[in-house]
Amino acid sequence: MRHAFGVGAAALCAAVVLVGCTDGPSKTGEAAGAGPTSPSPSSTPTAANPRVVAPAAGPEEQFNALALGSRFFFDGQGTASAAAAMKRYCELLGEKELNGLPPAQWLAEKELTKPDGPRVLGDGVSRFCPERGATLKAASEGSYERWFVAGTYEVGSGPKQMPAGSYVAAGALRDCYWERTSKSGEVLDNQFATSAQETRVTVRAGDGQFTSRGCGAWKPES
């Protein structure tokens, strides 16, 4: 019986010669016939495996790197990442108004004027809220309705001026005051309301300035 077993073993070895055969354990400790194994992507680089592919950065990491390398800052960001702040901005752009202004005007006057604002916000909108692209486009092009909150505005057609026209302020108005003045500062017309639901004013092309406080936002009257 021992002789027959030996012949069978020899024949089996001949049949599998292409994949290797050994009477004992491999000197390398590998299973018989096993070829070299490929390193996993997370393996530590060695002389035999110098190139290890690092996992690709996700959109959050890419945006964080972009914002970190810019001069732009997010208001109220605190310790949150730039990506988290941008996602919050995406939510804000879906509101009807921000700080008394329509979202496109808020973007144009408060955010796109910051250093690197157009580049960072453009990248953020395309990554995290492409549905807000129309708002960003309107802000970039200046094609939005302008509202005027508390302050003094020169009357004119410039980017920081108040165009002539009719305006309305509505809501729970308390101690609302407005005045129209000439270019020399003479009061042409004014009004003070301790309590009102709405008030109107017509700013004329020949006026010099328009001043308002406590009236909320003045919106063009359609």
The DSSP secondary structure of 151-180, one letter per residue, reads EEEEBSSSTTSBPSEEEEEEEEEEEEEEEE
Q: What is the DSSP letter of 38?
A: P
What is the SS3 assignment for 98? strand
pLDDT confidence of 52, banded at 50, 70, 90? low
> Does residue 145 carry a pLDDT above 50?
yes
Residues present in the chain in total: 222
Percent of the chain with pLDDT over 70: 75
- What pLDDT does 2 receive? 38
pLDDT at 158: 87
> Pick the residue with more confidence: 62 or 4?
62
Q: Report phi then psi at 202, rounded to 5.
A: -115, 115
* C-beta of residue 168 within 8 angstroms of C-beta of residue 200: yes
Q: What angle do CA 36, 31, 19 make, to 5 degrees?
A: 75
- 157-166 residue pLDDT tens: 988 899 999 9
Q: CB 85: neighbour CB atoms within 10 A?
A: 20
Least confident of 73-77, 125-129, 186-190: 73-77
Name the band, by pLDDT with cuts 50, 70 and 90, for residue 23: very low
pLDDT band with cut points at 50, 70 and 90 for residue 50: low
Amino acid at site 79: T
In the prediction, which pLDDT does 98 show? Answer: 92
Mean model confidence pLDDT for the chain: 83
**Inter-residue contact 214 to 175 (CB < 8 Å):** yes
Look at the pTM and tell me if it is higher than 0.75.
no
Locus of tokens 């945006």: 63
| CA 55 to chain CA mean position, Å | 23
pLDDT confidence band for 74 (50 / 70 / 90): very high
Q: Decide: helix, strand or coil at residue 218.
A: strand
Residue 139: its pLDDT value, please? Answer: 97
Residue 22 scores a pLDDT above 60: no
Q: How far apart are CA 124 and CA 153, in angstroms?
A: 32
Could you give the percent of the chain with pLDDT greater than 90?
A: 69
Is the per-residue pLDDT at 173 higher than 80?
A: yes
91 phi/psi in degrees, rounded to 5:
-65, -40
CA angle centred on 176, ends 171 and 181, rounded to 5°? 125
**18 band by pLDDT with thresholds 50, 70 and 90:** very low
